[in-house]
């Protein structure tokens, strides 16, 4: 595959094209090209009614803490103010399980800066408020507990890991009802074109099958998917 990256200039167009597809097609293309750890763990699913997201990864890293006096608000605000348009906010939490790592205020803040959604290896709260915004948030669980004194944000725009997937700033994030897949930035456009081809051929095969054509005949016409 040739090198093709997404930039601030073309991200809206690329995201719109991804949103016409589905994560299974993207994951299949990545598998066929040797990228077999790009689908995030099964438990990262949409917790909002808006369940499709696409954009450039804007990464964040945090870790559990056990000191109620800890308050990462200054770091949090600085990071939220630094998010750029066309991105998806992607967070690794260091295994934290006892609080929400994302909520309505954070969603509102990044939405205003053009961030298209959030993917969090942790908890989300304020879901009713986020749903009112029609904003997509993918997470691991729901929790009403504040992260203050339980979890500290440490850094942003660093390489992070969720499950077996390494996510680098600039990788492309695509999520739908089936989960989230991460496309390495250097092959994003090649993967997109290949997935669009699969989608078109699958649509043709689907139409043939609905007309009563046998699977063997349809497969012979549209080839390996």
Domain of residue 16, CATH code:
3.50.30.40
Q: Give helix 23-32 / helix 188-210 axis angle, nearest 10°.
A: 120
Give domain status of residue 36, yes or no.
Answer: yes
pLDDT at site 66: 86
What local confidence, expressed as pLDDT, does residue 114 receive? 97
CB atoms within 10 A of CB 112: 10
What is the pLDDT, as a whole number, of residue 33?
Answer: 95
- Strand, helix or coil at 107? helix
Quote the pLDDT of residue 4: 67
> Which domain, by its residues, includes 129?
11-185
Whether residue 159 lies inside any domain: the answer is yes
- Does residue 200 sit within a domain? no
User: Are the C-beta atoms of 185 and 6 separated by less than 8 Å?
Assistant: yes
Flag whether 22 is in a domain. Answer: yes
Q: What are the pLDDT tens digits along the chain (225 aa)? A: 444 679 889 999 999 999 999 999 999 999 999 999 999 999 999 999 999 999 999 999 999 998 888 888 888 888 999 999 999 999 999 999 999 999 999 999 999 999 999 999 999 999 999 999 999 999 999 999 999 999 999 999 999 999 999 999 999 999 999 999 999 999 999 999 999 988 887 766 667 677 776 767 756 666 655
DSSP category for residue 221: H
Q: Model's pTM, two decimal places?
A: 0.91
Domains held by the chain: number: 1
pLDDT of residue 188: 97
């Amino acid at each position: 595959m040739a090198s093709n990256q997404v930039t601030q200039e073309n991200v809206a167009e690329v995201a719109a094209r991804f949103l016409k597809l589905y994560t299974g097609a993207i994951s299949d293309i990545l598998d066929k090209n040797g990228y077999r750890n790009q689908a995030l763990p099964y438990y990262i699913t949409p917790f909002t009614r808006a369940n499709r997201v696409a954009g450039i990864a804007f990464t964040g890293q945090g870790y559990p803490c056990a000191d109620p006096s800890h308050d990462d608000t200054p770091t949090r605000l600085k990071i939220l103010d630094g998010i750029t348009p066309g991105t998806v906010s992607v967070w690794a939490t260091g295994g934290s399980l006892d609080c929400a790592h994302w909520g309505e205020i954070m969603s509102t803040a990044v939405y205003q800066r053009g961030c298209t959604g959030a993917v969090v290896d942790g908890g989300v709260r304020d879901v009713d408020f986020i749903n009112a915004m029609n904003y997509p948030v993918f997470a691991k669980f729901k929790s009403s507990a504040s992260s203050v004194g339980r979890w500290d944000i440490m850094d942003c725009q660093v390489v992070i890991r969720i499950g077996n997937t390494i996510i680098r700033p600039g990788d492309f994030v695509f999520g739908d009802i089936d989960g989230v897949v991460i496309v390495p930035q250097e092959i994003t456009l090649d993967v997109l074109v290949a997935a669009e081809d699969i989608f078109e051929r699958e649509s043709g095969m689907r139409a043939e099958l609905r007309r009563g054509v046998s699977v063997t005949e349809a497969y012979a016409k549209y080839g390996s998917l």
